[in-house]
Amino acid sequence: MQTPKLRRQVFYFHGFDRRGPRFFNLWQKREARLYAERHGGDLSVGDLQGDMWLLSSGAVETEFHFMDWTQVIRARFDLPFWASTWSMVTLWLTTLRLGMFGKVRRADWGLGLLVMWAFMPILVLLPILAVLALVSWPGFVIALGGGLAALWLLHRFDDRFGVYYAARIAWAARRMARRDDARLEALIEGFATRVAAADADEIVLVGHSIGGALALRVLDKAPATAKLLTIGHSVPLVSFQADAVGTQDTLDELKRGERRWIDVSAGRDLLGFAAFDPSGGGARCVSAHLRTSFGADFVKRLRWKGFEMHFLYFRAPKERTASWDWFDVLTGETLLEDRFNAEVKLTGQGARRFRL
């Protein structure tokens, strides 16, 4: 008699990215083939069906749901230059008023500077314009023209400079904290309805980068047995804000141990809060051991390629010697709560929070 397969459902909340489920389905297929070549097994990744696809191994079948939310942010920022620049100005002023730069830098200097980079052109331009407006109108006009030209170049070549990319993340964090964007709220409610209907042997909500804050939103509606897995998360971009009351309440529930929460991170990942538990004790923070899985030289080469490093968690490892193994998390027989039993819980800069 054939042993029934373990049924797993994974709801994946990605970080901000223009690429949708089709890209990630093809990318996962490629990495799965590489994984099978390196380590054997009968791992397979099915074709995209809407925003879901199936993965299977010898004893496990997994439904992978790609919870795509960035169309809302694209609609807000894929605007004419003037409109998107005005969004950056107002966002910068709001972020400065909330003291977000200081809070993020205090917790994670690398990520704090990245967030600051999104607003650096405006941070420099506005004081210069204010001074020149008082002492020299010709100088003011020249500085204004030059500043707008510089902003246009940053907008035009965003793939190289990343200023507007970081600004989109900051805008999304603000909306998630205030919960005041109707389109985003409707989308999250739809996600929650789907998660609430989940029925499998294991249900896992995965939040990557700022997608971790979205996974927290949906966790309240998930079945009681559902587990939370964050990977390179940037939840504090939302939870540090004074009006992120709902997110802070969820973190308090996690601190009380009402849900199982595993956080995986890497110190070299500059786009996430490494070993940082924003609940102050609810997460089990563990290392991804990327240098063990991919080799120290390979990881070192990615040191200044922040985006590639941020997604290294999901690639096929060269060596299966670490507890973190994305494809084994998806299709392995070991349940999430048992996977890291031998790992030492990281404390580092984590296990604390900054809350107004």
pLDDT tens profile 225-251: 999 999 999 998 888 888 888 999 999
What's the confidence (pLDDT) of residue 156? 73
What's the confidence (pLDDT) of residue 227? 94
The answer to whether residue 1 scores a pLDDT higher than 70 is no
Helix ranges (H only) for 99-222 are 100-107, 109-117, 120-135, 137-156, 158-161, 163-178, 182-196, 211-219
What's the confidence (pLDDT) of residue 130? 80
Q: Region 11-36: what's the mean pLDDT?
A: 91
What's the confidence (pLDDT) of residue 354? 39
Banded pLDDT at 207 (limits 50, 70, 90): very high
Domain ranges of the chain: 6-70+176-339
Q: Region 292-303: what's the mean pLDDT?
A: 90
| CA proximity to 72, closest of 232, 221, 180 | 180
Q: Burial, 20: exposed, middle or buried (Cβ in 10 Å; 0-12, 13-18, 19+)? A: middle
The answer to whether residue 353 scores a pLDDT higher than 50 is no
What's the confidence (pLDDT) of residue 111? 75
Calculate the CA 242 to chain-centre distance: 20
Two tokens at 12? 């994946």
The tokens 């922040």 sit on which residue?
306
Facing residues of 205 across strands? 11, 228
Q: What is the DSSP letter of 233?
A: -
Whether 214 contacts 247, CB under 8 Å: no
Q: Cα(308)–Cα(226) distance, rounded to whole angstroms?
A: 29
For 246-278, the pLDDT digits (tens) are 999 999 989 888 788 999 999 888 888 888 898
Pairing of strands 44-45, 52-56: antiparallel
Q: 6-70+176-339: which CATH number, 3.40.630, 2.40.10, 3.30.70, 3.40.50?
A: 3.40.50
Q: Cα(198)–Cα(9) distance, rounded to whole angstroms?
A: 7
Q: Burial, 14: exposed, middle or buried (Cβ in 10 Å; 0-12, 13-18, 19+)? A: buried
For 309-327, the pLDDT digits (tens) are 999 999 999 999 888 999 9
Banded pLDDT at 351 (limits 50, 70, 90): very low
Q: Region 176-196: what's the mean pLDDT?
A: 91
Task: Name the pTM for this structure.
Answer: 0.87
The answer to whether residue 76 scores a pLDDT higher than 70 is no
Give the torsion sign (CA, 329, 211, 317, 52): positive
The answer to whether residue 78 scores a pLDDT higher than 90 is no
What's the confidence (pLDDT) of residue 211? 93
Mean pLDDT computed over every residue of the chain: 84
Whether 248 contacts 239, CB under 8 Å: yes
**DSSP state string for 56-76:** E-SSEEEEEEE---HHHHHHH
The answer to whether residue 352 scores a pLDDT higher than 50 is no
Two tokens at 261? 């929460």
Q: Region 73-94: what's the mean pLDDT?
A: 66
In degrees to the nearest 10, what's the CA dihedral of 110, 285, 25, 17?
A: -30
| Amino acid present at 92 | W
- Within 13 A of 258's CA, how many CA atoms are on the CB side? 15
What's the confidence (pLDDT) of residue 127? 79
Banded pLDDT at 23 (limits 50, 70, 90): very high
Whether 331 contacts 275, CB under 8 Å: no
Whether 247 contacts 217, CB under 8 Å: yes
The answer to whether residue 191 scores a pLDDT higher than 80 is yes
Banded pLDDT at 356 (limits 50, 70, 90): very low
Banded pLDDT at 58 (limits 50, 70, 90): confident
